């Protein structure tokens, strides 16, 4: 291995020091929406604080979920393979915002009455799917350490494909929630984003399985 | 001027849409001013805009004696909250949109047409309408179908006063209220969330009930635009969306009108939509509510009361299955 990056590579990777700086920056950036929510609540700015926190944490869980799912396509399009080093942090932030979203529901809507919460979860389909999406995030967050990645080996990757189920569930949750007010503008926007991000993966897989066949059928 | 086809298919504008001379001349002058200012900079444009609209709608005081018998003693919601947390989709779907966007609504001149199954149809301008009966202040609870509530001092008089003037015929079984739907003044009109214009309705006995308030003011002044200026109804025992805002037409009909939310999502929003803690909305419980301004994030919810605590209307629904007619 030479010390200098080979000239054929389209983009240079950041040095370990630069990467650490990028990660720190991302850590702060992803925390800002939460800091803003807390700040405004403390200042008593939102007229309906519970609605404000519920919507804010839910929205950001979804935005960061899309960002997490965008890492692989971005890598492929740009050749910036180092982006993969940011994915775990983004994924954990998805869990963080989803957890805050869930805790707001459990606390503000049900005052920590698990029985009442459970009834709500079972009775209302939009809560049911949101709850399932949150529960499915738990094993992903729990297995995000290097040690777990090593220990699980190939099964780790299989387990983390759950995100392909979690994302549509999150969109369905949002969709059904907004259906109450017949207001689908945002669910359509983010549903499209998720559909494109997942669709790319389907397309890549499809073209990979097709490509070895094609030359043979041509010859 | 652009004239839209009204719901009757007649190509005439509502009387409230006809722009009198002094206004359109003023508007032309205003446009010229804006054109001149635009060259200077967008911040100045913004300023000119705001000032011009501010001149249109000064906060006018409205004197009214309190009707103590029909008023609650509960703590009133702050004027700030009551005017900055609104559902008025003609101005956008976010709660903060109406306060931000409603300054473009022209509330003068304004006329309301009262028609349909009546012996004496009437067209009244907003001043005539305001003077039709003595104004009262009534402090009502307001319960939104979304699960929050406020306490608001409204100014108006019982709608029954107006209804008696037009002498409904025997065929008048329902009253239909139509909200202005003018894209030029209301940026939310045209969104696909609802059908426009917004239509709400009451059964005749509900409309005649003394609690049903034809409302022209709140907090001792004329209605702010975002709260349904210049005239709306307030029906305190029903969810808030039943109380139509910025009304341009009141029509008496023999059959139940197709109302906005009920028309678009009948499983979620009934025609009656009486406040009822025992009938859940499909997406949330209606058993409790959050009182706006009461203690912030950690405040416990309040129990929602049947008919929003207005038990005197119970007799209107005796014998009716309120789970079926929700």
Give the C-alpha separation, A39 to A33, whole Å.
10
In this prediction, residue B19 carries a pLDDT of 59
- For residue B158, count CB atoms less than 10 angstroms from its CB and return exposed for 0-12, middle for 13-18, buried for 19 or more: buried
Q: Does B95 sit within 8 Å of A47, measured CB to CB?
A: yes
pLDDT of amino acid A149: 95
Lowest mean pLDDT among A7-16, A98-107, B167-176: A7-16
Beta-carbon contacts of B77 under 8 Å, excluding residues fewer than 6 positions away, are: B150, B151, B152, B291, B292, B293
Alpha helices for chain A (secondary structure H) = 16-42, 49-78, 84-104, 114-123, 125-142, 146-152, 154-160, 163-179, 185-210, 213-218
For the residues A179-206, what does the mean pLDDT come to?
95
Apex A109 CA angle, A131 and A139, nearest 5: 25
Q: State the pLDDT at residue B43.
A: 47
d(Cα B247, Cα B16) in Å, to the nearest integer? 10
- Give 10-residue mean pLDDT values along chain B (326 residues): 46 55 57 48 47 55 95 96 96 96 96 98 97 97 97 98 97 98 95 94 98 98 97 98 98 97 94 97 93 85 96 96 94
Q: Please tell me whether residue A216 adopts helix, strand or coil conformation.
A: helix
- Give the pLDDT score at A210: 73
Q: Residue B272 and residue B241: Cα distance in Å, rounded? A: 11
| DSSP 8-class letter at B123 | E
Q: Which run of H or E residues covers position B127?
A: helix B126-131
Q: From the CA of B150, how many Å to the nearest CA of chain A? A: 11
Domain ranges of chain A: 16-206
What is the pLDDT, as a whole number, of residue B92? 95
Contact of A43 with chain B, judged by CB distance below 8 Å, is answered with no
Report the alpha-carbon distance of residue B143 to residue B270 in Å, rounded. Answer: 15
The pLDDT value recorded for residue B201 is 98
More confident residue, A181 or A66: A66
- Contact assessment for residue B113 and residue B250, using Cβ atoms and an 8 Å cutoff: yes
Q: Which two tokens stand for residue A186?
A: 């945002």
- What is the C-alpha to C-alpha distance for residues B290 and B148, in angstroms, rounded to an integer? 5
CB contact under 8 Å between A50 and B290, yes or no, is yes
User: In the beta sheet, which residues pair with residue B288?
Assistant: B303
- The 3-state DSSP class for residue B258 equals coil
- Whole-number Å distance between alpha carbons of B262 and B242: 10
Q: Do A176 and B283 touch (CB under 8 A)?
A: yes
pLDDT at A39 over 70: yes
- Residue pair B88/B98 in contact by the 8 Å Cβ criterion: yes
CA dist list (Å): A150 to A72, A90, A91, A155: 21, 20, 18, 10
CA B256 to chain centre: 19
Predicted local confidence at residue B44, as pLDDT: 46
> Does the structure show a pLDDT above 70 at A10?
no
Residues of A in contact with B284 (CB under 8 A): 124, 180
How far B164 CA sits from the closest chain A CA (Å)? 36
User: To which residue do tokens 């080093």 refer?
Assistant: A85
Burial of B239 from C-beta contacts in 10 A (0-12 / 13-18 / 19+):
buried
Is A183 within 8 Å of B284 when comparing Cβ atoms?
A: no
Inter-chain touch A47–B282, beta carbons under 8 Å: no
List chain B residues with CB under 8 Å of A57: none
**Would the pLDDT of A5 be above 60?**
no
Taking alpha carbons only, the member of B263, B276, B235, B305 closest to residue B74 is: B305
According to the annotation, is B120 in a ligand binding site? no
Average pLDDT value over all residues in chain A: 91
Contact B193 A181 (CB under 8 A): yes
Binary contact (A182, B283; C-beta < 8 A): no
What's the confidence (pLDDT) of residue B90?
A: 97
Q: What angle do CA B289, B228, B149 make, to 5 degrees?
A: 10
DSSP secondary structure string for all residues of B190-240? TBTTS-SS-EEEEEHHHHHSTT-EEEEEETTEEPPGGGT-S-EEE-TTB-G
| DSSP reduced 3-state for B141 | strand
CB of B137 within 8 A of CB of B71? yes
Query: What is residue B84's predicted lDDT score, i.e. its pLDDT?
Result: 95
Is B276 marked as binding a ligand? no
According to the model, what pLDDT value does residue B58 have? 58
Q: CB distance from A168 to chain B under 8 Å? A: no
**Residue position matching structure tokens 């059904």:** A176
- Written as six digits, the tokens of B179 are 């909200």
Closest approach of A46 to chain B, Cα-based (Å): 9
pLDDT of residue B32: 54
In terms of Cα–Cα distance, which of A128, A139, A55, A129 is closest to A95? A139
Cα(B223)–Cα(A16) distance, integer angstroms: 62
Q: Which residues of B touch A (CB under 8 A)?
A: 81, 84-85, 93, 95, 148, 193-194, 264-265, 268, 281-285, 290, 292-293, 296-297, 300
Q: Are B52 and B36 in contact (CB under 8 A)?
A: no
Shortest Cα distance, chain B CAs vs residue A204, angstroms: 36
Q: For residue B299, what pLDDT is reported?
A: 83
HSE of B126 in the Cβ direction (CA atoms, 13 Å)?
18
Q: Is B290 flagged in the annotation as binding? A: no
Complex ipTM: 0.82
């Amino acid at each position: 291995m030479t010390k200098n990056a080979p000239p054929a590579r389209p983009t240079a990777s950041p040095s370990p020091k630069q990467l650490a700086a990028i990660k720190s920056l991302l850590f702060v950036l992803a925390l800002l929406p939460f800091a803003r929510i807390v700040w405004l609540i403390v200042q008593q700015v939102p007229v309906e604080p519970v609605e404000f926190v519920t919507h804010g944490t839910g929205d950001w869980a979804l935005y960061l979920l899309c960002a997490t799912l965008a890492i692989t396509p971005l890598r492929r399009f740009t050749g910036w393979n180092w982006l993969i080093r940011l994915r775990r942090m983004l994924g954990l932030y998805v869990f963080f915002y989803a957890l805050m979203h869930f805790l707001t529901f459990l606390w503000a809507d049900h005052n920590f009455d698990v029985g009442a919460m459970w009834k709500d979860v079972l009775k209302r389909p939009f809560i049911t799917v949101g709850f399932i999406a949150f529960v499915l995030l738990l094993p992903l967050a729990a297995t995000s350490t290097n040690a777990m990645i090593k220990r699980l080996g190939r099964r780790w990757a299989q387990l983390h494909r759950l995100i392909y189920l979690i994302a549509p569930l999150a969109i369905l949750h949002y969709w059904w929630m907004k259906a109450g007010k017949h207001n689908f503008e945002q669910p359509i926007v983010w549903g499209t984003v998720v559909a494109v991000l997942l669709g790319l993966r389907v397309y890549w897989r499809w073209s990979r399985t097709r490509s070895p066949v094609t030359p043979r059928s041509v010859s | 001027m652009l004239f839209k086809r009204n719901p009757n298919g007649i190509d005439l504008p509502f009387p409230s849409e006809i722009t009198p001379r002094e206004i359109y001349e003023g508007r032309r002058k205003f446009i010229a001013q804006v054109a001149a200012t635009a060259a200077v900079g967008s911040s100045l444009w913004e300023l000119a805009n705001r000032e011009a609209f501010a001149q249109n709608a000064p906060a006018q005081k409205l004197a009214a004696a309190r009707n103590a018998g029909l008023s609650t003693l509960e703590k009133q919601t702050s004027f700030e909250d009551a005017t900055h947390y609104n559902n008025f989709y003609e101005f956008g779907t976010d709660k903060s949109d109406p306060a931000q966007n409603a300054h473009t609504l022209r509330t003068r001149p304004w006329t309301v047409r009262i028609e349909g199954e009546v012996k004496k149809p009437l067209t009244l301008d907003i001043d005539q309408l305001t003077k039709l009966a003595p104004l009262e202040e009534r402090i009502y609870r307001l319960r939104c179908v979304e699960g929050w509530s406020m306490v608001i001092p409204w100014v108006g008089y019982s709608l029954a006063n107006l209804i008696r003037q037009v002498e409904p015929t025997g065929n008048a079984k329902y009253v239909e209220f139509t909200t202005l739907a003018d894209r030029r003044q209301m940026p939310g009109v045209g969104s696909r969330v609802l059908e426009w214009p917004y239509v709400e309705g009451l059964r005749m006995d509900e409309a005649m009930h003394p609690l049903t308030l034809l409302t022209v003011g709140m907090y001792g002044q004329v209605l702010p635009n975002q709260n349904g200026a210049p005239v709306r109804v307030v029906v305190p025992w029903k969810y808030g969306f039943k109380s139509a805002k910025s009304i341009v037409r009141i029509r008496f009909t023999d059959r139940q009108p197709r109302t906005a939310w009920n028309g678009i999502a009948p499983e979620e929003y009934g025609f009656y939509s009486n406040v009822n803690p025992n009938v859940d909305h499909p997406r949330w419980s209606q058993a409790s509510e959050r009182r706006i301004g009461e203690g912030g994030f950690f405040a416990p919810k309040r129990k929602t009361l049947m008919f929003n605590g207005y038990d005197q209307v119970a007799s209107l629904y005796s014998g009716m299955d309120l789970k079926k007619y929700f």
